[in-house]
Chains A and B, each alone.
Chain A
Amino acid sequence: MAVYKKTYRPYEGSLTPSWSRLFVITRYAFEDLRRSKFLNTFYSLSFAYPLICALLIYVSHNTSALRVLGAQNAAGIITINLTFFFNLLGWQSMLALFLAAFIGPGQVSPDLANNALSLYLARPFSRVEYVLGKMSVLMVLMSLMTWVPGLMLFGLQAYLEGGGWAQDNARIAWGFFFGSWVWIVLLSLLALALSAWVKWKPAAGALVFGVFFVAAAFGATINGVQRTNWGHLFNIGYLVGSVWVQLMEGATRTTNGAVFFRVPMGEELPIGWCWFGLFLLAAACLYMLAHKIRGAEVVR
Chain B
Amino acid sequence: MQPVIELDGLEVRFGQRVILNKLSAALTGVSIGLLGPNGAGKSTLINTLLGFHKPASGTARVLGRDIRTHAREVRGLVGYMPESDSFIAPMSGVRFVRMMAELSGLPREQALERAHEAFFYAGLGEVRYRPLGTYSLGMKQAAKLASAIAHGPKLLFLDEPTNGLDPPARTRMIQLIQDIRDRGDLRLILSSHLLRDVEECCDQVLILKDGNIAAFCNLEEERRANLRFLELETRGANNGNFLAAIDRLGCQTATGAQGRIKLILPDGIEVRQLYEIAAGQDVQIRRLSHKRDSLEDIFLKAMEVPNGRL
Instruction: Give the B-binding residues of A (Cβ under 8 A).
Output: 3-4, 6-16, 18, 21, 24-25, 28, 110-111, 114-116, 118-126, 294-296, 298-300
Contacts and interface: CB of A to CB of B under 8 A. Distances in A.
Interface in B88-131: 88-90, 95, 99-100, 102-107, 110, 113-114, 116-118, 120-121, 125
Contacts, number: 126
Contact of A119 (B73, B82, B118, B186): B82
Contact of A10 (B76, B78, B95, B152): B152
Interface stretch (B44-52, B55-63, B207-215, B284-292): B44-52
A125 B99 CA distance: 12
Interface stretch (B177-185, B220-228, B235-243, B301-309): B177-185
Nearest to B47: A296
B17 interface: yes
Given A8-B121, A8-B185, A119-B147, A24 B15 contact: no
21 contacts: A4-B125, A8-B179, A9-B185, A10-B152, A12-B152, A21-B103, A24-B102, A28-B95, A28-B99, A110-B88, A114-B89, A116-B86, A118-B84, A119-B87, A119-B147, A120-B103, A122-B75, A294-B52, A295-B51, A296-B43, A300-B15
Given A11-B151, A110-B88, A123 B52 contact: no
Interface residues of B, number: 52
Given A4-B125, A296-B47, A10 B185 contact: yes
Nearest to A3: B116
Contact of B88 (A3, A114, A124, A298): A114
B102 A15 contact: no
B196 interface: no
B88 A6 contact: no
Contacts of A126: 72
Contact of A13 (B50, B106, B116): B106
A4 B125 CA distance: 7
Contact of B80 (A4, A25, A119): A119
Contact of B117 (A3, A13, A294): A3
Nearest to A6: B117
A15 B105 contact: yes
Contacts of B75: 121-125
